[in-house]
Structure 1
Amino acid sequence: MSKPHGATAGKLERMLEKITMLLRKAESTPYPAEAQALQEHAERLMVRYGIGRAQLDERTAREGRPREAVVERRFEVGGVYRVGRLRGLSEVARAFPAISVLQSTSGNTSTLYVVGVESDVAQVLRLFESLLVQIRSVMAAWWREHDKGHLPTEALRVTERRQFQMAFFDTVAGRLRDLHAQEVADAGSGTELVLAGRRERVTEALHQMHPFLRSARSRPINTGSWTAHRAGQAAGHRANVGQRGVAEGSRARLPG
C-alpha cells in the first residue's frame, strides 16, 4: 500500500471510499479472523488518509491556494454514563495529532467541542458514531455473559459499566496513537513538521474562538473493578474504528 506522500485529492477520496468498504465488510462477515484483518487494514488507511490530507493541504498553501478551514463541532453527551463517555471520547479525539477538544457540563448534559481542520474533524465524527454503536453492543454482551446483574446496588452497576467504557475508549485511543507514530515514521522526513504546522494552526484558531479559555479542575469519579477494566480493554482491541459516516457540519446528540 502506497504511503500518503505525494497523494492527490483524487487518491485520498479513493482511499476514503476504500476505508468505508473495508469497514462495511468487517461488519458483515460472520468470521472473526476476517473481520479483524479487514478492521486493521481500515484503521491503517484511516491514519494514512489523515496524514495525506495534511500533506496535500501544505502543498496547496505553498502554491497560494486556500488551506482547509479550521472548524468547531459540538456534541452533546447525555445519560447516566455521560462522564465516562465524555472522558473516553475526548481521549479518542486527542489521538488525532491536530485535534483539540473542550468540554462543558450543564445539568444532566455534557458537551464536547471538537476543533480541527475539516477533514480531521470529519474523521473524529465517524469514529464517535462507530464507537458509540459498538460499545452499546459489546457492553451488553459482556454484562449478560458475566451475570453482572447480581451486584447489590444500581450505583455499583453503573460504576462497573463506566469502567468498562473508559477502558474501551482508552484502548482505542492508544491503538490510534501507536498507528499515527508508526505511519509518521514510515512516511519520511518532513511529515512531522507538516503535522506540527497543522497543530499550530488549530491551536491558534482555538485561541481566537475562545480567547478567555481556562482549564477546569478535574473531577474525580468512582472507578470499577479490574475485571471490568480488562474486559473493556479487550473490547477496545477488537473495536472496528470508524464504521459509519457522519455528514460534516452536523450536530449530533450522542446516545445516553
Structure 2
Amino acid sequence: MPDADELITDALAAARDTDVRRAERQLDRLVVGTGAPDGAAAVDAALLRRLAAGVGRLWPRGWQPVDLARIAGRRLGARPARLLADAMALQRRDQPGPVPTWWDDQLRDLDAGLWWDDDRAHLTAWAAREGVDRVTALREAVEALALVEGLPPIAVLRPPPGSTPTGGPAGPGAGSRGGGGSRMLDRVRALLAKAESTTFPAEAEALTGKAQELMARHSLDEALLAADAPRTDLPGGVRLGTEAPYAGAKALLVQEVAAANGCEAVWSDDLGFATVLGWPADLEAVELLYTSLLVQATAEMLRGRGQRQVKGGGRRTRGYDESFLNAFALRIGERLRTVSAAASRQAAEAAGPERLLPVLAARGEAVRERMESLFPGVRRHRLTVRDAEGWASGTSAADRASLDLGGGRPGRQVRGKR
C-alpha cells in the first residue's frame, strides 16, 4: 500500500487534471488511507503538514496572510479558507526567526489560531467542527493544497517572517509617531461610518470630504516630521480586493483614491486585487476611504437601479451598474484631489513652501520608483461607458452639485499588471 504522502500527491495531481472520474478515484483512495490501523491519522497529519509547508513557501514569494485568505475565499469558499487559516497558524507555530508584529496582527484578524490538540487528528476534528463528512473534508483539503502550491509569486511589499526588516518597505502604521495618528484615525472612522449610514447623499459627501481633509493633514504632518528626521525605509504597500462583479470599476475607485492620497495603484485582475504603494499615513487613508466609498457607491447604485426600474427602465442592469460605479469613482477622485490640494496649500503657507514642497516631491518620486521596481511591465486598461443613464447617476451620486455632463466624459485608464 502507498504511504500517506504518495496518496496525497496522486490526489493532488488528479485534482489539477480535467478528468473528474480520475479525481474521484484518487479521492476514494485517500479516504481508504494507507491500510494501516492509523492510516486515517497518517493522512490527516501529512495533509496538514504539506498545507503548512506550502503556506510557508508563499511568504518569501510576496504573499501575506490576508492575501491568501482573500484569494482562498474567492476561489474556494469560506470553509476551505478557514482550513487554510489553520495551516497558517501551524506554520506560524513552527516559523523560525523573527516574526513582525503586523504579521501576527493579520493572523489574529483572520482568527488563525491553534484550536486543536493533535495534528494527526486535525482534519477529523475540523470536519466535525464544520459539520461535514470526511470525504468533503479531504476534497476541500486537496483543493486548498492545489491552490497553495499553484499560486504565482507576487510583489514583496513588506519583509516576511524570518527576514531582516532593516531598511525594508514601510507598511500602514509604521510611520505614525505617538498616539495622534491613532486618535485621528478614530475620528476618520467615525466620519466614514456616518457617511455610510446616512441616506442623504449631500451629507455623505460632506462627511467623506472632512475625512479626506483630516487624513491629508495627517499625511502632511508626517511628511514634515520625515523632513526633520530622514528615513531609510522604502514606501510600503497594501493590497485591496477588487473581486467581481465590476472588478474594473472597483480597481478604478482604488486608483482614484490612491492618486488623491499620493499613492500609486496597480491592478492584478487575475488575482482579484489592486496593489497600492505609498507611505504609511497615505496607505491608511486609502484603505479606509476605499472601503467606505465602496459601501457608499454600492448603496447609491442599488437605489438608482431601483428608481430606474420603477420608472420603467430596461431590465438589463450590468451596463448601468458598471457605468454608475465608473462615474462615481472618477468624480469622487476629482473631489478628493481638490480637498488634498487645499490642505497642501494651507500646510505650505504655514510651514513655508520652500520646506514642504521639496519633501512632497521627494516622497512622490520615491513612490513612483518603488512602483517601477515592483511592476516593470504594467500596462493601462481603458474602461468604457456602456450606459449613459448609469454614468449620469453615478456622477450625481458622487457630487450632487455637478449634474451637467455636456457631451459626455471620456473613459479613464486603469493601470494593470501585465
TM range (shorter): 0.7 to 0.9
Aligned to 2:240: 75
Residue 120 (structure 1) aligned with residue 289 (structure 2) = no
The SS at the match of 1:147 is helix
Task: Render the CA deviation track for 1:135-171: whole Å, top value 9, x for unaligned.
Answer: 22111111111217955564xx211111110111111
Aligned to 2:151: none
Counterpart AA for 1:223: R
Counterpart AA for 1:104: S
| Aligned counterpart for 1:182 among listed residues 320, 336, 342 | 342
Residues 156-167 of structure 1 mapped to structure 2, 5 A cutoff: 157-167=317-327
Q: CA offset at residue 28 of structure 1?
A: 5.3
Aligned to 2:96: none
Whether the 8 Å CA contact 2:195–2:296 is kept in 1: the answer is: no
Q: CA offset at residue 224 of structure 1?
A: 1.3
Taking the aligned partners of 1:86 and 1:29, their CA distance within structure 2 comes to: 25
Task: Note the residue ranges of structure 1 that are not aligned, 5 or more in a row.
Answer: 1-6, 239-256
Taking the aligned partners of 2:312 and 2:364, their CA distance within structure 1 comes to: 47
Taking the aligned partners of 2:252 and 2:205, their CA distance within structure 1 comes to: 26
| Aligned counterpart for 1:111 among listed residues 273, 276, 279 | 273
The SS at the match of 2:288 is helix
Query: For the pair shown, which has the larger CA radius of gyration, 1 or 2?
Result: 2
Whether the 8 Å CA contact 1:8–1:56 is kept in 2: the answer is: no
The SS at the match of 1:223 is coil
Residue 169 (structure 1) aligned with residue 333 (structure 2) = no
Taking the aligned partners of 1:40 and 1:74, their CA distance within structure 2 comes to: 23
Taking the aligned partners of 1:102 and 1:8, their CA distance within structure 2 comes to: 28
Taking the aligned partners of 1:32 and 1:39, their CA distance within structure 2 comes to: 10
Residue 218 (structure 1) aligned with residue 381 (structure 2) = yes
TM-score norm. by structure 1 comes to 0.73
Residue 234 (structure 1) aligned with residue 403 (structure 2) = no
The SS at the match of 1:74 is strand
Counterpart AA for 1:83: G
Counterpart AA for 1:234: S
The SS at the match of 1:214 is coil
The SS at the match of 1:83 is helix
TM-score norm. by structure 2 comes to 0.47
Distance 1:38 1:165, change over 3 A: closer
Task: Render the CA deviation track for 1:182-224: whole Å, top value 9, x for unaligned.
Answer: 11111121322221111122122223334xx134253453521
Provide the aligned length of Structure 1 versus Structure 2. Answer: 220
Taking the aligned partners of 2:252 and 2:183, their CA distance within structure 1 comes to: 33
Residues 1-256 of structure 1 mapped to structure 2, 5 A cutoff: 9-27=178-196, 37-61=206-230, 66=231, 69-97=234-262, 99-106=263-270, 110-147=272-309, 152=314, 154=316, 157-188=317-348, 189=353, 190-210=355-375, 213-219=376-382, 221-225=384-388, 227-237=389-399
Whether the 8 Å CA contact 1:12–1:53 is kept in 2: the answer is: no
The SS at the match of 2:379 is coil
Taking the aligned partners of 1:231 and 1:219, their CA distance within structure 2 comes to: 21
Alpha-carbon RMSD: 2.9
The SS at the match of 1:127 is helix
Counterpart AA for 1:224: D
Taking the aligned partners of 1:118 and 1:36, their CA distance within structure 2 comes to: 25
Whether the 8 Å CA contact 1:27–1:35 is kept in 2: the answer is: yes
Distance 1:84 1:19, change over 3 A: closer
Whether the 8 Å CA contact 2:240–2:287 is kept in 1: the answer is: no
Identity %: 28
Larger RCO (alpha carbons 8 Å, 6+ apart): 1
Taking the aligned partners of 2:208 and 2:251, their CA distance within structure 1 comes to: 24
Aligned to 2:101: none
Taking the aligned partners of 2:283 and 2:248, their CA distance within structure 1 comes to: 22
Aligned to 2:5: none
Distance 1:70 1:149, change over 3 A: farther
Moved more, 168-177 or 10-19: 10-19
Taking the aligned partners of 2:398 and 2:344, their CA distance within structure 1 comes to: 23
Structure 1 or 2: more strand by fraction: 1
Whether the 8 Å CA contact 1:57–1:67 is kept in 2: the answer is: no
